[in-house]
Structure 1
Amino acid sequence: MNKVLVEIFLPAADESYDVYIPLDSQMSEVLTLVSSLLSDLSHGTYKATPDAVLCDAESGIIFNINMAVAELGIQNGSKLMLI
Structure 2
Amino acid sequence: MNKILVEIFLPAANMSFDVYIPVESKMSEILTLVSSLLSELSDGKYKATKDAVLCDAQTGIIFNINMAISELGIQHGSKLMLI
TM-score range (shorter-chain normalised) is over 0.9
Q: Calculate the TM-score normalised by the size of structure 2.
A: 0.99
Paired with 2:21 and 2:13, the residues of 1 have a C-alpha distance of 21
Per-residue CA distance 1:9-31 (angstroms, 9 max, x = gap): 00000000000000000000000
Paired with 1:40 and 1:70, the residues of 2 have a C-alpha distance of 26
> Which runs of no fewer than 5 residues in structure 1 stay unpaired?
none
Please show how residues 25-40 of structure 1 align to structure 2 within 5 Å: 25-40=25-40
Q: Percent identity between the aligned chains?
A: 80
Paired with 1:59 and 1:70, the residues of 2 have a C-alpha distance of 18
Paired with 2:73 and 2:2, the residues of 1 have a C-alpha distance of 14
Paired with 2:6 and 2:56, the residues of 1 have a C-alpha distance of 11
Give the CA RMSD over aligned residues: 0.3
Per-residue CA distance 1:4-55 (angstroms, 9 max, x = gap): 0000000000000000000000000000000000000001100000000000
> How many residues are treated as equivalent by the alignment?
83
Matched, 1:59 2:59: yes
Partner of 2:71: 71
Structure 2 counterpart of 1:47, one-letter code:
K
Q: Calculate the TM-score normalised by the size of structure 1.
A: 0.99
Partner of 2:16: 16
Paired with 2:10 and 2:27, the residues of 1 have a C-alpha distance of 17
Segments ≥4 residues shifted beyond 2 Å: none
SS in 2 for 1:5: strand
